Amino acid sequence: MTPLIFPFRFELLWSDALVWLLVLTAIGFAAYTRNHPHLRAPWARVARSASGMAAATVLAAFVLVGLLDSVHYRAALPPQGGKTAYATEVRSLLDRVLEPLRLTREKTYSAPLATHLYAKETVQGPDGSETRVFPRLRHGGAHLKDPQADWGRDVALKAFRGLAFGLLFWFVAVLGVCAVLARSPDSSIESTWREAWAGRTAVPWRAVFCAFGLMCVLIGPVVALAPYYHVLGTDKVGQDVLYQALKSIRTGLVIGTLATLVMLPFALVLGLMAGYFKGWIDDVIQYVYTTLSSIPGVLLIAAAVLMMQVYIENHAELFPTTEIRADIRLLALCVILGVTSWTGLCRLLRGEALKLREMEYIQAAHAFGVSHWRIMMRHITPNVMHIVMIALVMDFSGLVLAEAVLSYVGVGVDPSMISFGTMINSARLEMAREPMVWWSLAAAFMFMLTLVLAANLFADAVRDAFDPRLIVGGGRP
Residues 353/384, Cβ–Cβ less than 8 Å: yes
Smallest distance from the beta carbon of 424 to other proteins, in angstroms? 44
| Closer residue to other proteins, CB minimum distance, 36 or 143 | 36
Residues 240/315, Cβ–Cβ less than 8 Å: no
Sole binder of other proteins in the list 1, 4, 198, 472 (CB under 8 A): 472
The verdict on 79 binding other proteins (CB under 8 A) reads: no
Strand partners, 131: 123
Sole binder of other proteins in the list 108, 201, 383, 456 (CB under 8 A): 383
Sole binder of other proteins in the list 5, 310, 367, 432 (CB under 8 A): 367
Smallest distance from the beta carbon of 473 to other proteins, in angstroms? 5
Give the integer Cα–Cα distance in Å for 374 and 387: 20
Query: Concatenated DSSP letters for 195-211?
Result: HHHHT-SSS-HHHHHHH
Decide: helix, strand or coil at residue 75: strand
Give the integer Cα–Cα distance in Å for 77 and 385: 50
Tell which positions 274-333 bind other proteins, by CB under 8 A: 283
| Closer residue to other proteins, CB minimum distance, 153 or 374 | 374
The verdict on 171 binding other proteins (CB under 8 A) reads: no
The verdict on 359 binding other proteins (CB under 8 A) reads: yes
- Give the list of residues 6+ apart from residue 248 with CB closer than 8 angstroms, or none: 418, 419, 420, 423, 444, 447, 448
Give the integer Cα–Cα distance in Å for 477 and 474: 7
Smallest distance from the beta carbon of 472 to other proteins, in angstroms? 4
| Closer residue to other proteins, CB minimum distance, 7 or 477 | 477
Q: What are phi and psi of 9, to 5 degrees?
A: -135, 130
Give the integer Cα–Cα distance in Å for 96 and 75: 10
Sole binder of other proteins in the list 34, 132, 374, 428 (CB under 8 A): 374
Instruction: State the amino acid at position 194 in one-letter form.
Output: R
Residues 73/91, Cβ–Cβ less than 8 Å: yes
| Closer residue to other proteins, CB minimum distance, 138 or 374 | 374
Residues 96/247, Cβ–Cβ less than 8 Å: no
Sole binder of other proteins in the list 78, 81, 435, 477 (CB under 8 A): 477
The verdict on 360 binding other proteins (CB under 8 A) reads: yes
Peptide bond into 296 cis (omega under 30): no
The verdict on 82 binding other proteins (CB under 8 A) reads: no
Window contacting other proteins (CB under 8 A); options: 21-29, 139-147, 181-189, 369-377: 369-377
Nearest residue to 423 via CA among 398, 399, 448: 448
Window contacting other proteins (CB under 8 A); options: 57-65, 143-151, 232-240, 357-365: 357-365
Smallest distance from the beta carbon of 17 to other proteins, in angstroms? 32
Window contacting other proteins (CB under 8 A); options: 151-159, 310-318, 355-363, 393-401: 355-363
Residues 428/444, Cβ–Cβ less than 8 Å: no
Smallest distance from the beta carbon of 294 to other proteins, in angstroms? 17
Q: Cα-Cα-Cα-Cα dihedral of 380, 382, 386, 389, to 10°? A: 110
Sole binder of other proteins in the list 365, 405, 445, 460 (CB under 8 A): 365
Smallest distance from the beta carbon of 476 to other proteins, in angstroms? 5
C-alpha distances (whole Å) from 188 to each of 168, 181, 182, 434 are: 21, 9, 6, 61
The verdict on 371 binding other proteins (CB under 8 A) reads: yes
Sole binder of other proteins in the list 7, 37, 82, 126 (CB under 8 A): 37
The verdict on 24 binding other proteins (CB under 8 A) reads: no
The verdict on 473 binding other proteins (CB under 8 A) reads: yes
Give the integer Cα–Cα distance in Å for 465 and 386: 9
* Binding residues vs other proteins (CB under 8 A): 37-38, 283, 359-361, 363-371, 374, 378-379, 382-383, 472-477
